Amino acid sequence: MCGFIGIAGLPGRDIAPELYEGLIALQHRGQDAAGILSFDGAFHLRKGEGMVRDIFSAADMARLKGNLAVGHVRYPTVGGGGSQDAQPFYINYPFGVGMAHNGNLTNFVDLKEAQFPKENICLESSCDVEAILYAFAMGLQRTLRKDPLEHRIRTAVENVFERVKGAYSVGGVLAEGVLFGFRDPSGIKPCIVGRRVTEEGEEWAVASESVAFDVLGFEKVRDLENGEAFFVVPGQEPRFVRVAEGPHTPCIFELVYFARPDSFLDGISVYKARQRFGEALARQWRDEGAPTPDVVIPIPDSARDAALSMALELGVPYREGFIKNRYVGRTFIMPNQAARQDSIRRKLNPIPIEFEGRRVLLVDDSIVRGNTSRKIVETARRAGAKEIYFASTSPPLISPCPYGIDMATREDFVARGRTVEEVRELIGADYLTYLELDRMVEAAQAPNGEVEGFCTGCFTGRYPTEDAAASLDVIAAERAAMRV
């Protein structure tokens, strides 16, 4: 999972400093690497490994000239590695095109090792966006420079859709002075378009999450639909082009865990969706005849909104029982199991008075390997809890994500091949429940029902794109190689 933002500022402006602010707002989507590509008649690029604040110096920002720019934050997915894989990427020939994306291609290896070499294209990195970039440029090459821009963009995106499989949302810049964006035919990754009205005219942006617009004073216009492209020449009206039709299945895990609660994805408030997860979980809790707790305690941060609404619905007090050290970093970023377990201990510290002698209900957004929940149950017990109940606002995770959420290989999922009772025993809780899939999907849908279905592959093993399952073997092999 990654984040990107592209901005088309009014002619004559340098937009990179604002893009930088947008990237800071998207930092939760990736802390591994970042970059900005700007354009003022020539491309200017700065990218590197680390957090946004560590990569760009004042001198870099002064060099990143131009009113068109696209930026990226990278989340480490399997195989993704050094600075050569940081985004954005650009080429100058046969057309100047720059790009950043969020997603993961399921046929990247085939494109890089079998298909593209036949056309004398050698990708330099193991970063998926390079494949999208070349597929886009090959499509552009089928058009004439004098063709209408809409035709050229449509043909380029059509070629991407034809050749590139998986999940991807893209923001990019064309050297003829255009900002563009597009979303894969299933619309798995989020992609939203925004506008800022100034006295001199309108400026446009495309980004992974609406929260990037909030900090820059852009209003959200709308999400791109699945298979849709958008482009704008600064100072002119933008155009939206539907390139492919089909079922729209955005990733439900964005709502569960990944996105910031102050974002809207496909018209759904992430915050409200999490509240609805909590209410649904409370109703399920009652339907199951689960034991009544004395207190509800969230596992910070992503479970907070759900835990609060669950507590309200159950009529039980809500308390903050764990304090998070924000400077340890997300535990998944740690390279191996031992480091991960250590970091959970350093990351969450209990407030014992909230646990002593109480029956506590701990709420988390998900259980993946079970490390976090086991440690947390242990900690709650040491802090004096009398009984510990555990609720997950999403169903058991059992299947890896081929689309870029770095979770685990099949055998790492604690719920795979285990009953709920076996997982309960393993994490050491006195009661465990997971929000059922149907209840979660219903709760995820906004009351306005803009999204009919979601990708729920990590909970079901059924994916919306055809070659997803095969790509899981490639991911498993890469992970195995990394462990050696």
Q: How far is the CB of 128 from ligand AMP (least distance, A)?
A: 18
72 binds ligand AMP (CB under 6 A): no
Q: Please state the closest distance from residue 296 (CB atom) to ligand AMP, in A.
A: 16
Q: Which residue, 149 or 432, has its beta carbon nearer to ligand AMP?
A: 432
Task: Give the shortest CB-346-to-ligand AMP separation in angstroms.
Answer: 14
Total chain residues near ligand AMP (CB under 6 A):
18
* Closer to ligand AMP by Cβ: residue 9 or 395: 395
- The minimum distance between CB 369 and ligand AMP, in angstroms, equals 3
Q: Judged by CB under 6 A, which stretch of 239-247, 310-318, 320-328, 361-369 contacts ligand AMP?
A: 361-369
Contact status: 302 vs ligand AMP (CB under 6 A): yes
Query: With respect to ligand AMP, which residue has the nearer C-beta, 102 or 373?
Result: 373
Minimum CB distance to ligand AMP smaller for 44 or for 369: 369
Site for ligand AMP in 363-392 (CB under 6 A): 364-373
Report yes or no: 465 and 404 within 8 Å, Cβ to Cβ: no
- Return the residue of 398, 405, 429, 441 that touches ligand AMP, per CB under 6 A: 405
Closest distance between ligand AMP and the C-beta of residue 333, in Å? 8
CB of 339 to ligand AMP, least distance (A): 13
401 is catalytic: no
> Judged by CB under 6 A, which of 21, 147, 406, 467 binds ligand AMP?
406
Q: Can you tell me which of 324, 330, 386, 483 binds ligand AMP, judged by CB under 6 A? A: 330
Residue identified by tokens 């399997």 is 78
List the interface residues with ligand AMP, window 84-123 (CB under 6 A).
none
Q: Which residues 260-299 are close enough to bind ligand AMP by CB under 6 A?
A: 299
Q: Does residue number 332 form part of the binding site for ligand AMP (CB under 6 A)?
A: yes
Q: Which is nearer to ligand AMP, 143 or 349 (CB)?
A: 349
Least Cβ distance, residue 371 to ligand AMP (angstroms):
4
Shorter beta-carbon distance to ligand AMP: residue 170 or 348: 348
Q: Is 257 in the site for ligand AMP (CB under 6 A)?
A: yes
Residue number with CB closer to ligand AMP (83 or 337): 337
* Contact call for residue 304 and ligand AMP (CB under 6 A): no
Catalytic residue among 2, 191, 251, 458: 2
**Secondary structure of the chain as H, E, C letters:** CCEEEEEECCCCCCCHHHHHHHHHHCHHHCCCEEEEEEECCCEEEEEEECCHHHHCCHHHHHHCCCCEEEEEEECCCCCCCCHHHCCCEEECCCCCEEEEEEEEECCHHHHHHHHHHHCCCCCCCCCHHHHHHHHHHHHHHCCCCCCCHHHHHHHHHHHHHHHCCEEEEEEEEECCCEEEEEECCCCCCCCEEEEEEECCEEEEEEECCCHHHHHHCCEEEEECCCCEEEEECCCCCCEEEECCCCCCCCECHHHHHHCCCCCEECCEEHHHHHHHHHHHHHHHHHHHCCCCCCEEEECCCCCHHHHHHHHHHHCCCECCCEEECCCCCCHHHCCCHHHHHHHHHHHEEECHHHCCCCEEEEEECCCCCCHHHHHHHHHHHHCCCCEEEEEECCCCCCCCCCCCCCCCCHHHCCCCCCCHHHHHHHHCCCEEEECCHHHHHHHHCCCCCCCCCCECHHHHCCCCCCCHHHHHHHHHHHHHHHHC
- Using CB under 6 A as the criterion, which residues of the chain lie in contact with ligand AMP when the complex forms? 257, 299, 302, 330, 332, 364-373, 405-407
Catalytic residues: 2
